[in-house]
Amino acid sequence: MNDRVHDIVVALPPEILAAPPRYLRHARVEMVAGGERRRDSVSNAFAHVAARADLVVIHDAARPLVSATLIARTVDAAAAFGAAIAALPARDTVKRADRDRIVVGTLPRDEIYLAQTPQAFRTSVLRDALALATDAEATDEAALAEQAGHRVHLVDGDPRNMKITTPDDLAMAEAQLGGGMTAGLRIGNGYDLHRLVAGRPLVLGGVTIPFDKGLEGHSDADAVCHAVIDAILGAAGAGDIGLHFPDTDPAWKDANSMELLRRAASLVCDAGFAIVNVGVVVIVQKPKLLPFVDAMSGNLAEALGIGRGEVSVKGKTNEGVDSMGVGESIAVHAVALLARR
């Protein structure tokens, strides 16, 4: 989350709204149905903006590389002038052409700017813009604001704030991320071990596994979830499971560890990280985990907000060695890769 933004409303196609991705399920994010046109989607989202809002910032999902600095610059200008957009000055000579692609004129390059998002407006300005006749021609909200009689201020855009519309654009964005993302990668390790005792269900990765013993613990003792929680929190530098869900707190007595994992994933997201992938190794002599690893992977992926292909769960025996090998306990090792957003 950007510290200049208090609430987020996301307009989504109906098919995505019906099953939104995990990373959008946040207390500060409201999801609404989009429309056929950009203007319709903005209007639907604007209808859900809190009445207390002084400024509204509109940004294209197709520009995922926007920086916090650019957002702040646009917000400050909108607060001062009423309406502001990020834009880049044209660097090339700009030609006008007819339908046969014959040049009919050359435009003064120093008067040409290429509009980006974010575009920010005082709430009253955006309301005026969206109140124009529905057939008003506009490719962005700034054009509507202009037609409504408001002056739109330009702030310096960012060449890295590219719009992804073609496969080539996507490849360029991935290359841009790859060029500087290594420093933003964080790896975390997690480990958990619980005794096997009679009279408890055996829960691993959110799956209840038929067995005559279960893991002893304050919560449901899901060692897989606990190890993954420590891995993602550790990678984000956000403490560990004992800090956030201490076993001295009655609130976590018999807690569902999948819910604890969801909470931990939200903490990581709020800290400015995206979870890239997770690997888990469960050390257990009995029972055999192979029939259950797919369900476990799916549960973890859903809780973490990543694809099933980004989660690996494997079961290993301990070859009869130590408490795991003689069936007295189960241990779990987990590793998580995070990327700073």
The DSSP annotation for 219-241 comes to S---HHHHHHHHHHHHHHT---H
Using only C-alpha atoms, what is the Rg of the chain? 26
For β-strands 311-316 and 273-283, DSSP reports them as parallel
The highest-level CATH class for domain 8-180 is: alpha beta
Average pLDDT over every residue of 211-235: 96
pLDDT of residue 201: 96
Question: Is the distance from CB of 257 to CB of 225 less than 8 angstroms?
Answer: yes
pLDDT bin (cut points 50, 70, 90) of residue 179 is: low
Kindly report the number of other CB atoms within 10 A of residue 208's CB atom.
Answer: 13
CA distance readout (Å), 238 to 103, 243, 275: 59, 9, 14
Confidence of residue 270 (pLDDT cuts 50, 70, 90): confident
Per-residue model confidence (pLDDT) at position 156: 93
Pairwise pLDDT comparison (296 vs 6), residue with the higher score: 296
**The pLDDT of residue 54:** 94
pLDDT digit string, tens, across residues 68-120: 889 999 999 999 999 999 999 988 899 999 999 999 999 998 899 999 999 99
CATH class of the domain at 184-340: alpha beta
Instruction: Decide: helix, strand or coil at residue 263.
Output: helix
pTM: 0.55
DSSP-derived secondary structure for 42-100:
HHHHHTTS-TT-SEEEE--TT-TT--HHHHHHHHHHHHHHSEEEEEEE--S-EEEE-TT
3-state secondary structure of 16: helix
Phi/psi region, residue 60 (left: phi>0; alpha: psi -120 to 50; beta: rest), is beta
Separation of alpha carbons 260 and 168, rounded Å: 40
Dist. CA 181–CA 190, nearest whole Å? 23
pLDDT tens column, 230-258: 999 999 999 999 999 998 999 899 999 99
Residue 181, pLDDT score: 46
3-state secondary structure of 12: strand
How confident is the prediction for the chain on average, in pLDDT?
Answer: 91
Distance CA 42, CA 53 (A): 15
CA distance 293 to 287: 12
Where do the domains of the chain lie?
8-180, 184-340
Q: How far is Cα 155 from Cα 87, in angstroms, rounded to an integer?
A: 6
Torsion of CA 112, 117, 121, 125, to 10 degrees: 60
Q: What is the pLDDT of residue 6?
A: 86
